[in-house]
Amino acid sequence: MAAEYSYTLMPRRKQSWLFVAVSLAAYQVDNSVLGQTTRALDPNTPAVDQATGRTAFDRAEKLRIDLAVNPPAPAPALSRGVPFEKRGGADRAAQTRTQKPVDPSARYDNLREKGVWFNIPGPADTIAQDKGGGRSALADIGIGYAAWTHNSFANNLLPNAARSPIANQLYMGQNPTFASANFLIVTYDLSRFGISDGQIVLGIEQQYSTWDRPGPNRVGLNTLAYYQTFFDRAVELKLGYLRNQNEFTGTLLGGITGSNMSALFQAGMSTNATPTPTVNLKYNFDDRLYNKASVQRSISPDGAYAHITENPIGLNWSTANAGILLVNEAGYKSKAAAGLPDTWLRAGVGLNSSRYTSFADPKQPRESSNNFHYLAADRQFWQSDAGGTPSRGIYGGLSIMGAPADVNKIGRYYELRLYAKGAFDSRPSDLISLVASKTIWSKFAVNAALAKGQLAHRDTTAITGTYTAHLAPGIYAAVGLSYIHNPTSITHTPQNEHALNLLISTLILF
């Protein structure tokens, strides 16, 4: 049986697309701006980088990807609300005739992490698959696992790039920058004991970078969660040490670019490197319309760098000055089908009781709370293989995020994106993306820099194009170029007003 699974498993391309998109996107994009934000809030470090140096580890970061938010049902479960009835021999024969062949990899669906807005690819899209039968043996006792490594490189190709000692580096790519994030997620199926869709999830993460401003190197907890559903899957409950970047918003996109969530991280949302105690509750009005709410212990109001420094393993209940973050997201999500384009609309708000330092009056004691809002939409415009793989085609999307400028370094973030999944018949699992973004910096922080006689800018603009190739089961490689006007945050020198970053990334799933 082990050999049989090894040779018959077929890639689930749509699920792989979303996971690869998020993993590469989050890891490359979100953390350069996050690095700037956390460094700006850390009184012991100078100002830092921008949203589009695009590399680092969130380790989404963002791992950050475009699948149904609802967790898949164990095969061969039927659709929600459609009970299976035993019938006479004629009916059973009719069912047998109309039943589609069972995908051998479907037995692992119930072992993937549930509650996140993406699905990690199944064994078919890994290097190991089920060679030797080890994965099957674990699945037989209810254990599933996913392991992957994401490695990336960024380098400014422009002459006179104002190279600096690593300790004084201001953005990803100013010096040739390498980063690596490695993950192991293990799940245990509780539905075998009669708990509806029940699951325990344990994840660990190791991250390393030659430039640590987005967050120091660490080995620690990624997630420790309990999940189950109620009322015929109308309600989903997930609690534990969670990283809400994988539970809300969605970084949807192919390649090494993606929706930048740093505007939300600075306002307290947890990341892959900063899991915090959380309770998430989602209500599914039907198969497409949902509302998801969260009560989360905020990450440090001084940012991810300060949070990881104080809590590197990730098991602390809280960090200094951190309060409670309330998040709510309403959305509509429909999966691609023949003649039905893939669509995801979502909007959310967050309220944070943490004690932030005010940029408007930094001499005052900490007393300011925080909040954020976001709106995002992604829509498939054209299906290139509606009858075969309907998720293949051309997509467009936008994101708008905002937070109060008096306590956040990033006041607003705008993004437009165009991307294609499986654009070429000869390369049906590849991704192409083009992303334009603008980050608006806090007017209070900008004015304070100008008052000190520093060169300062009020916004950063970036245009990034990437191509992600699926080279073999479990192996992806991406290459891209990102032009950034003002790659640093707020302050700059005449030598670092522009950057043209070469981005190279690999994702390997085991």
Examine the pLDDT at 148 and tell me if it is beyond 60: yes
Say what the pLDDT of residue 173 is: 93
Say what the pLDDT of residue 252 is: 55
Mean pLDDT of 95-110: 64
Contacts of 65 (CB under 8 A, 6+ apart): 17, 18, 19, 20, 21, 22, 23, 25, 117, 118, 119, 250, 251, 252
Q: What is the pLDDT of residues 452-485, one digit of tens each?
A: 999 999 999 999 999 999 999 999 999 999 999 9
Mean pLDDT of 127-135: 94
Locus of tokens 């999944």? 421
SS (H, E, C) 157-176: CCCCCCCCCHHHCCCCCCCC
**What average pLDDT does the chain have?**
83
Overall residue count recorded for the chain in this entry: 510
- Rg of the chain (C-alpha set): 22
Rounded Cα distance, 256 and 16, in Å? 15
Closest alpha carbon to 380 in 371, 372, 392, 363: 392
Task: Decide if 280 contacts 247 (C-beta within 8 A).
Answer: yes
Examine the pLDDT at 376 and tell me if it is beyond 90: yes
Mean pLDDT of 345-365: 94
Q: Is 345 helix (H, G, I), strand (E, B) or coil?
A: strand
Task: Decide if 52 contacts 482 (C-beta within 8 A).
Answer: yes
109 or 422, which is more confident: 422
Name the band, by pLDDT with cuts 50, 70 and 90, for residue 164.
Answer: confident
Instruction: Return the amino acid letter for 385.
Output: D
Examine the pLDDT at 43 and tell me if it is beyond 50: no
Mean pLDDT of 219-229: 98
Examine the pLDDT at 389 and tell me if it is beyond 90: yes
Say what the pLDDT of residue 51 is: 37
Rounded Cα distance, 263 and 410, in Å? 6
Least confident of 8-17, 34-43, 113-122, 444-453: 34-43
Instruction: Return the amino acid letter for 137.
Output: A
Torsion, Cα 24 399 483 206, to 10 degrees, reads -30
Say what the pLDDT of residue 39 is: 39
Locus of tokens 């099957």? 136
Task: Decide if 292 contacts 281 (C-beta within 8 A).
Answer: yes
Task: Decide if 245 contacts 16 (C-beta within 8 A).
Answer: no
In the numeric block, which tokens belong to residue 198?
Answer: 């029940």
Note the pTM of the prediction, 2 decimals: 0.81
Kindly tell me the burial class for residue 96, based on how many C-beta atoms sit within 10 Å of its own C-beta (0-12, 13-18, 19 or more). exposed
Rounded Cα distance, 314 and 276, in Å? 7
Contacts of 230 (CB under 8 A, 6+ apart): 196, 237
Name the band, by pLDDT with cuts 50, 70 and 90, for residue 38.
Answer: very low
At residue 252's C-alpha, the angle toward residues 246 and 254, to 5°, is: 125
From residue 179, give the alpha-carbon distance in Å to each of 300, 378, 467. Answer: 23, 29, 19
Locus of tokens 């599914």? 284
Task: Decide if 348 contacts 327 (C-beta within 8 A).
Answer: yes
Q: In terms of residue numbers, what domain contains 179?
A: 2-81+90-509
Q: How many domains does the chain have?
A: 1
Mean pLDDT of 161-183: 88
Per-residue exposure over 372-389, b if at least 16 CB sit within 10 Å of its own CB, e if not: bebebbbebeebbebeeb
At 445, which CATH number? 2.40.160.180
Name the band, by pLDDT with cuts 50, 70 and 90, for residue 17.
Answer: low
The DSSP bridge pattern shows strands 177-189 and 143-156 to be antiparallel
Rounded Cα distance, 52 and 464, in Å? 8
> How do the residues of the chain divide into helix, strand and coil, expressed in percent and rounded to 5?
20, 40, 40
Examine the pLDDT at 438 and tell me if it is beyond 60: yes
Name the band, by pLDDT with cuts 50, 70 and 90, for residue 99.
Answer: low
Task: Decide if 155 contacts 161 (C-beta within 8 A).
Answer: no
Q: What is the DSSP string of 9-70?
A: ----HHHHHHHHHHHHHIIIIIHHHHHHHHHHH-TTS---B-TTS--S----BTB-----SS
Say what the pLDDT of residue 4 is: 35
Which secondary-structure segment (H or E) carries 318?
A: none
Is the CA virtual torsion 165, 486, 464, 273 positive or negative? Answer: positive
Task: Decide if 510 contacts 148 (C-beta within 8 A).
Answer: yes
Examine the pLDDT at 58 and tell me if it is beyond 80: no
Name the band, by pLDDT with cuts 50, 70 and 90, for residue 212.
Answer: confident
Phi, psi of 181 (to 5 degrees): -135, 135
Mean pLDDT of 1-16: 40
Task: Decide if 435 contacts 253 (C-beta within 8 A).
Answer: yes
Mean pLDDT of 296-300: 98
Mean pLDDT of 389-411: 96
Q: What is the DSSP string of 379-397?
A: EEEEES-TTT-TT-EEEEE
At residue 180's C-alpha, the angle toward residues 152 and 128, to 5°, is: 95
Mean pLDDT of 308-316: 96
Locus of tokens 């990899």? 105
Name the band, by pLDDT with cuts 50, 70 and 90, for residue 16.
Answer: low
Say what the pLDDT of residue 61 is: 37
Rounded Cα distance, 15 and 143, in Å? 20
Closest alpha carbon to 183 in 135, 224, 147, 218: 147
Say what the pLDDT of residue 1 is: 40
319 or 8, which is more confident: 319
